[in-house]
Structure 1
Amino acid sequence: MQQRIDSHQHFWKYNPTTHDWIDETMHKIKRDFMPEDLQPLLKENSFSGCVAVQADQTEEETKFLLSLANSNSFIKGVVGWVNLLDKNVADRLRFFSTEKKLKGFRHVVQGEPDGFMLGNDFKNGIKTLTKFGYTYDILIYHHQLPDAITLANLFPNQPFVIDHIAKPNLKTGNIKKWKEDIKELARAENVMCKVSGMVTEAHWDTWTIDDFTPCLDVVFENFTPDRIMFGSDWPVCNVAASYTTVVRTLENYISALTPSEQERIWFGNAKKFYNLEM
């Protein structure tokens, strides 16, 4: 059986203020989600490890995830948060640099105005990440892809990964502009793509695999199995699908690929990108 890594999941101790993005429609995830909740799901679906990604924009979140990673061996890496706009960002990265499981950083750019990633302060933050050897997860909506393309080309030596295939409009199926932009973004060889977060962009109660196939076709044609990794987006996925359902969806889609291609998608690409020790 091939090894697997879940490249994108979250932990939290639910707080109505901190997690105010979880509204009443998402009542299923209005509770704590901790390593003991995830570990059985990983085991059940043949995963040997995971990468915990920030959900809150504080350094306390980074420290919280690192404490979980350092006490749970199956958490192989952490994508944390620092203020990339801070002129002293290098000091903050230096502070965290002794944490071996800290692999990269993310900012919730989907909540920022267009042009945010192209501001001088943010670009300085990315330049500093490169110096320290950290990855960067790009979390955006599809209409922000042009900025991501520019950013990726400005920093060809910075490893980027696009989260949730840049959130195409799965509810309407109108993906023409997203498709053009994904094709352009994939030309930047320093960018990888997480097949993650799709079920929550579709109609939660009525989605079918056919809703995802056109987008998956675009991602696999342009990024190829060499630059794609699986992420569950657990526990957020629970509002629209179980952990196992999310896994089965990708299993079905890639079933015709070669064993080595499948291994890269499930394991090799995430291990290499995040420099994980397995």
Structure 2
Amino acid sequence: MIDTHVHFWNFDPVRDNWINDDMQIIRKDFSPENLLDVYSDLNITGCVAVQASQSEEENHFLLKLAEESEIIKGIVGWVDLLDPNLDERLSFWQNHQIIKGWRHILQAENRDFILNPAFIAGVKQLKKYNYTYDLLCYHNQLENIIQMVDQIPDQPFVLDHCGKPDVKSGDLKAWTANIKTLAANPNVLCKVSGLLTEADWQNWTEQDLFNCFDVIFEQFSPERVMYGSDWPVMLLSRPYQDWFNVVNKYTERFTVAERRMIFSDNAKQFYKL
């Protein structure tokens, strides 16, 4: 089994200022060693390390961790897609085959950034190098994401954290409609990950999460969904096992082959692990 979404960092209060005082449990260092026991208990064999900082230094940091730890099977790094020398940078990173794709923290950007023709042109260059692109956004940005994706029909995309629905309020109407539109693009996959931090951290219910899963699996089908944890951010709500158990319980309704897609095959195919 593959966990398609984890982060590692040596905590820096300035760089990582998004980790505020209400998040004491993750205001510390996290390394692959911290996952070994839980992965062993759950028979998870590897992970995809996803950027948490927007610099090329982050790529070097994750590459060093991958050299030291066998559990990192792939890296989603960061590169400046607005860089006039982007082609040169992508060519450089081709020297590191474990880097499978790229991500920008679009949830922190506005519509003008997401739909900037220069940014879209940057994403279009990824296909030349067979790179994937992770889409990180809030539910109220999905319409902009759809407009962006529509312009790049041959780029492999994956939506992180189900597009961050408003699990806490339970108002899923607009999110559901946008997920349906986005999922109509066959080049877009979705990670079932990161929902605990969109829910009421302490008081979410299994049904709160299942309501979101219903939409994701109906629209994307098991053929285009992959399991991820969003560890260590999800620790703000619960231990790793709790999230895994919820996803595992929900997917019991699927066939063995479909579960293999969700927990392994889709990730291997998408990220070329």
TM range (shorter): over 0.9
Match of 1:254 in 2: 251
Once structures 1 and 2 are overlaid, which stretch shifts more, 48-57 or 33-42?
33-42
Q: Map of 1:64-79 to 2, 5 A cutoff?
A: 64-79=61-76
| More moved, 151-160 vs 161-170 | 151-160
Pick one of 90, 110, 118 that aligns with 1:113: 110
Alignment-mate amino acid for residue 192 of structure 2 = V
Deviation at 1:183, TM superposition (A): 0.3
Alpha-carbon RMSD? 0.8
Q: How much identity, in percent, do the aligned residues show?
A: 46
Alignment map for 1:262-273 (pairs within 5 Å): 262-273=259-270
Counterpart of 2:36 in structure 1 is 39
Task: Tell me by how many angstroms 1:266 deviates.
Answer: 0.2
Q: Quick one: which of 192, 200, 203 aligns to 1:195?
A: 192
Give distance in 1, aligned partners of 2:189 and 2:176: 16
TM-score by length of 1: 0.97
Distance 1:158 1:217 in 2: 26
Q: Which residues of structure 1 form unaligned runs of 5+?
A: none
Tell me which stretches of 4 or more aligned residues in structure 1 moved more than 2 Å. none
Counterpart secondary structure, 1:36: helix
Distance across 2 between alignment mates of 1:38 and 1:116: 35
Distance 1:182 1:10 in 2: 25
Which residue type is aligned with residue 151 of structure 2? L
Q: Structure 1 residue 244 and structure 2 residue 258: aligned?
A: no
Letter in 1 for 2:240: Y
SS in 2 for 1:150: helix
1:81 to 78, 86, 89: 78
Counterpart Cα distance in 1 of 2:176 and 2:204: 20
3-state SS of 1:255 partner: helix
Q: Secondary structure at the match of 1:52?
A: strand
Name the counterpart of 2:89. Answer: 92
5+ residue gaps, structure 2: none
TM-score normalised to the size of structure 2?
A: 0.98
Q: Do the aligned partners of 1:149 and 1:185 also contact (CA within 8 Å) in 2?
A: yes
3-state DSSP class of the match of 1:207?
A: coil
Letter in 1 for 2:23: M
| 1:70, distance to aligned residue in structure 2 (A) | 2.0
